[in-house]
Structure 1
């Protein structure tokens, strides 16, 4: 949150010209940030990189090819549609890390959805392995990511910094 208090043009025109009194200008900036933005940034970079590599390995696919081919990146397999979803997730995390005003509720929602998706993948790996290329190991990855995001959402401190610049007379 950035706040600035600067006299408007109306205030400045109210002072008669040639007046010996200077016009005082005060600038106040308040910064709101959290160290967990660095954690979210790192997670965003990781998801974006994994998804980008998967999409590059899968090659250009049309609408009919979003479920194949299945490619392996690091320890996990995925199809182009899952890689595209992960790319969007990574980009959302990068944007969230760059913003100072992203509420912790957003981190909690992302964490809850990822944890639930991970638990579903762990419980039914055969179905998801054949449809989107994500098996039990991918489920553990999503569940772990979701738990980290939940921890970030519930425990992240918010730090306020205030800078005040007074005019030199």
Structure 2
């Protein structure tokens, strides 16, 4: 299947964010009462950069800014204080990217990023108002994780695009 304009736009963003980069940490935020801000996650990249995601209904918002530098997600309008929490993530160089869409809607379901040999990975699964993180899951387990943990995806045959770092473009594939 050929990607739509929406798919192409989102896939281009993922390629720009992660092409040949290193994910060194996963950063979550905690608000002033100590509760996890479960709709936001930042992936720490090389050279002090980040890729931030915020659940926004059917599609995540994306930022390349640290929350303290430029608050793209307006988090300080919602919370008086935000504390960053490092998850002690075991970093890796991104060699493979996969994006899963709901084929019935222009909806990003998940982003799967892995090392070239698939020994390290991170799966970001987007719900309406939460982002779930799964570390070091196998490519073959991505579909099972999504269908077993998110009942509304139980009968969905995802539209999946994948690419290896250095590939010319994204290809429609199955996991």
Q: TM-score range by the shorter chain?
A: under 0.3
Q: TM-score w.r.t. structure 1 length?
A: 0.24
Higher helix proportion (structure 1 or 2): 1
Q: TM-score w.r.t. structure 2 length?
A: 0.24
Higher strand proportion (structure 1 or 2): 2
Larger radius of gyration between Structure 1 and Structure 2 = 1
Higher relative contact order (CA 8 A, sep 6+): 1
